[in-house]
A and B are shown apart, each in its own frame.
Chain A
């Protein structure tokens, strides 16, 4: 450490061995490209009274908020405590834990050029302002996932979900995103798959690739299922979401031919058209012909999405995918800011208990299974999401300006997603619990009727719940839907919660229906964007994989190959979607755990790769930082998979269910449980078989990856490390602050750079 620092202070020292410190010689004609680490550390260690007071205040406020949530928890608890508990804990985690990881584990070096500098091409590799990149990264990682999981987990009460979202992100989710982003940046922006092959060899690498591909299929399928459930029998929703297609086409043409590059302009136009589509949907849902045309059953909608998904994946990006992505980003930033402001101003009172009756049981009607491990797979996005590893490697690292910014963008970006999840949880638990269970219990339990739902929910024996038919019919009328019973999947529940909060903020009860459909619309928009992009990315991965055997498939311009691979991918997720829609057991309730398990297994894979990389660097003293989340994610997902595979309880175990129905069929029965016909029983046998096989496949692949990573790490431990696969160090010739705000030291250096005459300024992005 001191040796390195001494060299740093004496940059002209000639070096014979090519260590990084010697290669990274500061250009004497330029102002410093990095802050002096000793000075920076001294500044950080200097605890002025003001600094102490601020952190004591944050810690106190956080402590009080947690006390209110976890210990006091009176009859009701105010939503503002969720916001304070989350934000204060994030601040402390960011300031202390991520700093600890930075200082001991990753040791970013701003004297080293990032890929955006040494590989600059002005397009993919382009240094981007850190705050703008934070926005890009956040828009890429946050979608419908953090909005759905917390809603479903709310059946266990508010506390388990809240604790997992906040603690999980600090110790697991944000750590994963930060590490993957940093390692990818050090490797010229390589993707997770490429890093897996490099670090884990052929077997581990192949298992990681196959796992990623199948996990993507299941994730796309289940997201699509959420949309289908939200739009089924809802002419208003179907019309307004369908209108996003012509709106996106118009935006695409506008950007291509009329005003290229005017992204926010066209997004605002698209947004206005979208609002008109929502309002128009309300009018159309009031007419007889509108209801006749747009009331579609779920199977029809599912087919619509499948056909749409195929067309969107083969059309040129500029026509549909890119403009829809702009619209989705616009809505994402807008609605999240709006929701945060609304929750802070409205501050709804929450009457859901901290732990519900289902926290200690395994027969919850929303998601079956005991709290451990099923809470941790139900809430994936927002606490720990493996999918992020695909974004944090590849796209974002190619745009990072300075190495030390990865903490702000990687770790900080994930904290923001976690906050979105907390807001979704607050919106879901601000609903009456009776309504919550009526909306989220499968049609198999409620019969899909108001009377059935009332009878079912009241039979659950929940404290303080007394659901009346009137509550359900008047809510349905308020939100402009025919019925709210068994609107499973999380999206409609969130939409109702959000509509209740928003109407007391803007518009009053008359606006309930608008806000409900506004929420449905943006969730559908996020999901359809993910479906488009996921299909496309999966298609390229498949083409690349087949290309190993049939080289012609590598040529991404080859139309036939592209169509074949797209068709395979769409068939993959489409068949699971249809299976979920037609499932006599309720679809989403049985499939959602598979989504969470898949996502967390991907996280385990990403963390395993990080483990192997860190072991090579020989930093075993601090390696627990990655071992902790890796062990937790592995235990959770493997246990959950084992439940799904081996549990004898039919509602939990896929095979138990499978065998129960098969035996019933063999015994010649014509109805069993919620399946009223032989066809339905056969469907259950088929569906549980597919789900069971997928569970086995995922867990096997993940175990292979984890084992190969552990073997590689042990080997590194024995040999005292190994040469890393990092790109060679190149000296940086640029400077930028690391965090959101520039520190005084950074401001000094920035001033020196600003004072540099124009002709002496080096190319920011130089070759």
Chain B
């Protein structure tokens, strides 16, 4: 039962990451690793900044 739950949780997490939720986690990992002394952006700030960067730098979508 617990292995099923673990796999299921993994699958849900995978799906969430594919949807794009991994962005903040990747940023946190980067910030922690960079040794930067200033505090990282909060989740809210990060997402706001991400969207605003997309304004100037659009990703394309295919046909």
Contacts and interface: CB of A to CB of B under 8 A. Distances in A.
B61 interface: yes
Contacts of A333: 15, 18
Contact of B63 (A121, A261, A264, A599): A599
A45 interface: no
Interface in A297-351: 316-318, 321-322, 325-326, 328-330, 333
B59 interface: yes
Contact of B47 (A141, A261, A328): A261
Contact of B54 (A135, A317, A390, A767): A317
B24 to A, nearest CB: 5
B59 A395 contact: yes
The range of chain A's interface size is 35 or more
Contacts of B59: 140, 395, 533
A267 B19 contact: yes
A480 interface: no
B21 to A, nearest CB: 5
Interface string A593-610: 000000100000000000
A757 to B, nearest CB: 16
Interface in B1-52: 14-24, 26-27, 29-31, 33-35, 43-44, 46-48, 50-52
Q: Which of B24, B31, B33, B48 has the most CB of A within 10 A?
A: B33
A381 B63 contact: yes
Interface in A68-101: none
Given A126-B26, A330-B19, A763-B35, A317 B51 contact: yes
Nearest to A219: B63
A485 B22 CA distance: 46
A530 interface: yes
B27 A122 contact: yes
A145 B22 contact: no
Given A530-B63, A763-B35, A765-B33, A316 B47 contact: no
A322 B56 contact: no
A263 B20 contact: yes
A128 B22 contact: yes
A54 interface: no
Contact of A223 (B27, B29, B43, B63): B63
Nearest to B50: A123
A517 interface: no
A61 B42 CA distance: 53
B44 to A, nearest CB: 5
Given A139-B18, A260-B47, A264-B15, 5 more contacts: A126-B30, A219-B63, A260-B44, A333-B18, A540-B57
